[in-house]
Structure 1
């Protein structure tokens, strides 16, 4: 606010510092001597706490505030309580009566209502009594005025009720990066050159003492002067005191000057280690952002410091100090990365590594040649924003999808890429060769663009535009190239199995640092821990205790912990997420163990599913490990097969072996197909090895009862598909998919040798045959040697499915990286700040949408007759009006907030955040049509919907010649209207009618009149296959063609019993690629191939797709 006062020419004292009104050098020195960090923010926080009249509520996730408070108040009667512990009410009451100091630590966002009178200071007097009283816990207690209370929370971003904020002084004690840098510098120098740091600390203490002494001398002098007689010269002791003070002040000044000279020499040496401290601070604050991805990713400052010291111990020695500092930085980087990445899920490791690399680049730590402008980084993270117009931006390159052409045009706005669209047109064939390469990110671009290999970040931008599906691989390759020893990060722990990783992490653990396993479906942690216990000589049930948590197990678990803590045993507490409330007790117990000191061999192991209910204090102190089961079809098939004992396989008869092998393959396919997201399944299902084992038991029983007769395939398929696996499945199309797989695998051909990849007969690609009944080892060898590919063909999917999967993976990577960007970081200039980006988006939307509204009442009055179609369009107008009203209201409100005329509320901040991230605000989404588009594409789609309704309102008595079904908020109502019109016209029962679809050969622009027996619709896209207009049938997709625009479809209503599905594929139609809950109806599409082929390929009609 000082620059604001200066800008407005308001007179003020030159060099004014508000902090000087609260504290002085002497007070600061005293606070620092009590352990308060020496950075400016900490000094401000300490000054506010020592001066505030309301109760201080300290936000203190790194526990720096609480450490200082304990030291500051140790000379008074100090009571430390938690609201979760027993007897806290009695301790608080005693403190209130006796005037003690209370620290209420680790509070949540909700504070126990019993404290309300204390927070409100609701004290009163009784009659003429001078004593104060307070109602506490339903009783009247005497209130001693010297009572004082501090509140402390470990939450980093708590939200308290307004009344709490009014009763307390909120103080943010979260460490700043510059403050932490100074602390780490001290630790690094103390570790590397302890004598030097010792001298530094002695100087600091001396300076603090000098400042305190000076303040005391001044205070004493002022006091004597204030009490001096009228004739000051007659007061001999006062004159002597003045002389003594002057001499002491002179001595102190001489000592200070001498120490300052020494300090300069020491600081120059210490500063050599600052790059290590700066990178350490950056790394720590990088870790604090990861909890935005998953609640489980929590790291305390104490844990970080432990690995900071470990990295110094592991760094390679060097003769020159500059080389040693470089080694320290690289050791710190890989040590912290390894520690953290072991506790991240596979899908999040590249996010963390990218964050690390981009931060190092921004700071110039990796060299000026890879430092990049923020505009480039924003383009990479946010993606190309140009959507294009078919009229003005027609794509001139036949082989290049429109989305990629529009992206290149957006890239060409940057000076370095001005010529790329023209070069693409002129050297089309050469670019096409690069575009069609399996790994284009590793190939040189054509023409002069090959030079981008020297500036790899700029090449990333080209890959982002032309081959977004290759971006995860491209980013990995980029990191290998620019990060020193980049392969160590990209391949971190790849040479170790899960037991070895567990062993290495165990060596990093201590009695006060548990190992925490974040579980994944199918992962077996206990088996690995059993092996580790044997290696280190711990006997299960004696010195190694395994406790499965659940109701009633808390007492037993606490008993085992006490025994282990005293005697140096190991304890594993399984599935602690089942008892979230007890974990607060566990956290307190671990704090007690840390204060008491545990046996050096004591170790605690915890396991749980990812859960937001796990206390932050538990997560902070642990070394976290994930143990995801191996991915890939081969790994899943091998894992399924070896889950059966060797003896069981060897003793089984031939047909049991064959069917069991087929069942294992079915299980592996069901497990691995999930990676394709909505294309794989409409929903995610928790299939497990238990389903496989139960199916195998049923298989054995059935075949034993059949006594060598014909195999009851129908019964087996029903049990597997409807009960064992089908018991998990709730979506009809997913159930059909499972049964279609079983129809393919469970047949007589399985008993000999059969192709296990569905419908690959006409493909020149991978193959995997079943094995005739054989031995256990032969089956394993067959899986190892013959199953070579994880191609989508193995699942019956088109190879394009991998492009879709990889594109989604890339978008998730960049969306998450964008979310993790600091909001207050100035992006090179004011126009690129988050607020300015949001403001620009706001003005653009208001300019495009304005105050648009459909006058539904006027339209209704203009209609002579309102039929089913008119009702549908009127409802659409109503729905879109509600949406437009919310858009206008929220944007006008946010604009007032930007102008300072309204206080920014949470809702307004949420809209601002969405505009900055190019997302549709949540309040709009609730009222709008389902969509997976970014905000820019969503607005374009909204405008197109408004255009369709505008055109209808010109002549509302008729329906459009061809209705853009995808442009309706409720497309089902339009299909129902078709059936209603037919039911009225033909006197039929509505509930006995269904929609029949006929795909005609015309485009919407070629249709000159409405359908006579239904309604023409357009705007549907086929995914997973293409529509062959010449033969009017479903056919295989062309390579890299993700969506095929359908011609006009004639929808008409017929009686359900007259619907002929012969030679047709009943194709589900969804509003978005998300599928699942966006289902609309099923269309009949003619096919020459078996419909089962398209079921396994996940073929569906999608209404709203990206630019194609």
Structure 2
């Protein structure tokens, strides 16, 4: 077999032509990294004459999924896929299958410590990989951790145990969490989460033979006196389906996982759906027309900006006037695009105007209950399907219209803002101008209110009340005035109203708080 790393195009061509004559095997690695070579490779394969090529010639190609990989080669070749193991048990089996007794006893006097920490590290590797299946509950971004990350951590563990008298937990956590695994993590919140998880697997407690990694004790430390066979037997005794407790998650996380799998399946079915409607029922065009007319009947027309600017002029003392005008301008751009494109689509369906590619894409989105790209590009971030998105837009416009008609509300629906950052800045600006201090020295303090939104009839003297936040993975207990565990089968709960209190030179408390990230959904 002759092997070539792609990036060596001319050498690869020469090697392949020689192999076809001599009956050699050729192995081209990492085809996804050489998209410019793919047309040449496709042309060479198309020109192969089975009657003139040596019968022992074989061409092997490896590639990650890539849209640049030639379809012709895929259709005419034999395909094999290498999929990562699913589940913590499968990951542990894969890891420990590559070990032996000599390896487990490679740290001399610290063999037992190495065995215990190795099991803990392999468990951490499995947890990090499998957290991805829970979507945003696991990590904001599904990172591609590899066996190479685990191997370098194991090598470092061996080195530090051999060279240090005391176990340098801080160094081990830093190298694993910030460099090896953490080198792939780009989100600060994900990094914080990973370091928190790692702290459960790289700590002095794991050297206790009775240590449990999960509350049920299914995942636990075992006797380091066991040999490789004993460790394999323990791994084989673990359940195939992981329980959320090993990930530090509530049982509701399994519901989220099942939903994600279902949505992915249904999304694939929608993409495979033929564009031509079969017999019976309404035609595709009729469904699109009904959807367009229904949306036009529900969504209000753009708000006249002149009267709004006249009623809410720019005032030094009240930044909320400017915030409102900016919100109206942003929503108007979206509403104009929505009404204009829907009217054009209705005309195109009747044959009055040409059905452009943009209109056809929008029509397909309406048929599939998806938000058209020409709208989402001008709208606020949202993951809702079309029907829910339209209802949400109507509710947002009601919030804006009530503000215009009735004045500044006592409590703000923060989810209704197109650009909530401007609202938050405006609140700080009001406080800064009132107190005549620099806005750079001000930040928000937070007080969760016991009163409901209906009971808050007037706004606070400083700052503002907000509603419309939801908590995932926990819930707010109004009686105890603290975060607590979710109820069974309750994926989301509405957060209590919060008073955003502007404070000069604020220092956040070190204890008693959780720095909770907030996301637009």
Normalising by structure 1, we get a TM-score of: 0.45
2:339 corresponds to which residue? 888
Distance 2:56 2:313 in 1: 88
1:930 paired with 2:381, answer yes
1:1053 paired with 2:511, answer no
1:738 corresponds to which residue? 194
1:801 corresponds to which residue? 253
1:172 corresponds to which residue? none
Q: Quote the offset at 1:664 in angstroms.
A: 1.4
Distance 1:981 1:755 in 2: 54
Secondary structure of 2:79's counterpart equals strand
1:692 corresponds to which residue? 150
1:723 paired with 2:179, answer yes
Q: Which range moves more in the overlay, 940-949 or 991-1000?
A: 991-1000
1:908 corresponds to which residue? 359
1:917 corresponds to which residue? 368
Distance 2:429 2:161 in 1: 52
1:612 paired with 2:60, answer no
> What is the CA deviation profile of residues 512-544 of structure 1, one whole-angstrom value per residue up to 9, with x for unaligned ones?
xxxxxxxxxxxxxxxxxxxxxxxxxxxxxxxxx
Q: Quote the offset at 1:718 in angstroms.
A: 1.3
1:857 paired with 2:306, answer yes
Distance 1:601 1:595 in 2: 11
2:244 corresponds to which residue? 792
CA contact (8 A) 1:550 1:578 kept: yes
Q: Are residues 983 and 804 of structure 1, via their aligned partners in 2, closer, same or farther at CA, if it must alter by over 3 Å?
A: same
CA contact (8 A) 2:443 2:504 kept: yes
1:833 paired with 2:244, answer no
2:475 corresponds to which residue? 1026
1:844 corresponds to which residue? 294
Give the counterpart of 2:12 among 530, 541, 557: 557
1:974 corresponds to which residue? 423
2:322 corresponds to which residue? 871
CA contact (8 A) 2:6 2:29 kept: no
CA contact (8 A) 1:685 1:729 kept: yes
CA contact (8 A) 1:975 1:995 kept: no
Q: Quote the offset at 1:639 in angstroms.
A: 2.1
Q: Quote the offset at 1:787 in angstroms.
A: 5.3
1:824 corresponds to which residue? 276
CA contact (8 A) 1:650 1:776 kept: no
> What is the CA deviation profile of residues 311-347 of structure 1, one whole-angstrom value per residue up to 9, with x for unaligned ones?
xxxxxxxxxxxxxxxxxxxxxxxxxxxxxxxxxxxxx
1:952 paired with 2:410, answer no
Q: Are residues 844 and 786 of structure 1, via their aligned partners in 2, closer, same or farther at CA, if it must alter by over 3 Å?
A: closer
**Superposition map of 1:1072-1083 within 5 A:** 1072=521
Give the counterpart of 2:392 among 936, 941, 958: 941
Distance 1:640 1:874 in 2: 59
**Superposition map of 1:362-761 within 5 A:** 545-552=1-8, 554-594=9-49, 596-644=51-99, 646-652=101-107, 653=110, 654-706=112-164, 708=165, 710-753=166-209, 755-757=211-213, 760=215
Q: Are residues 1057 and 1001 of structure 1, via their aligned partners in 2, closer, same or farther at CA, if it must alter by over 3 Å?
A: closer
- Greater length-normalized contact order (CA 8 Å, ≥ 6 residues apart): 2
Q: Quote the offset at 1:1010 in angstroms.
A: 0.9
Distance 2:198 2:183 in 1: 15
**Superposition map of 1:303-318 within 5 A:** none
Secondary structure of 2:141's counterpart equals coil
CA contact (8 A) 1:962 1:1010 kept: yes
Distance 2:504 2:489 in 1: 39
1:3 corresponds to which residue? none
Distance 2:275 2:314 in 1: 55
> What is the CA deviation profile of residues 610-653 of structure 1, one whole-angstrom value per residue up to 9, with x for unaligned ones?
11111222222122222202110111122234444542222222
CA contact (8 A) 1:755 1:769 kept: yes
Give the counterpart of 1:986 among 395, 412, 435: 435
Q: Are residues 891 and 679 of structure 1, via their aligned partners in 2, closer, same or farther at CA, if it must alter by over 3 Å?
A: same
Distance 2:419 2:98 in 1: 48
Distance 1:986 1:746 in 2: 49
2:461 corresponds to which residue? 1012
Q: How many residues align?
A: 515
Consecutive unaligned residues in structure 2, runs of 5 or more:
none
Q: Which range moves more in the overlay, 637-646 or 1009-1018?
A: 637-646
Q: Quote the offset at 1:726 in angstroms.
A: 1.2
Q: Quote the offset at 1:797 in angstroms.
A: 0.8
Q: Quote the offset at 1:1003 in angstroms.
A: 1.9
**Superposition map of 1:48-197 within 5 A:** none
CA contact (8 A) 2:2 2:24 kept: no
Secondary structure of 1:703's counterpart equals helix
Secondary structure of 1:593's counterpart equals coil
Q: Quote the offset at 1:898 in angstroms.
A: 1.4
Q: Quote the offset at 1:951 in angstroms.
A: 0.4
CA contact (8 A) 1:1014 1:1050 kept: yes
Consecutive unaligned residues in structure 1, runs of 5 or more:
1-544, 1073-1108
Secondary structure of 1:994's counterpart equals strand
CA contact (8 A) 1:978 1:1052 kept: no
Q: Which range moves more in the overlay, 1036-1045 or 892-901?
A: 892-901
Q: Which range moves more in the overlay, 769-778 or 794-803?
A: 769-778
Q: Are residues 863 and 973 of structure 1, via their aligned partners in 2, closer, same or farther at CA, if it must alter by over 3 Å?
A: closer
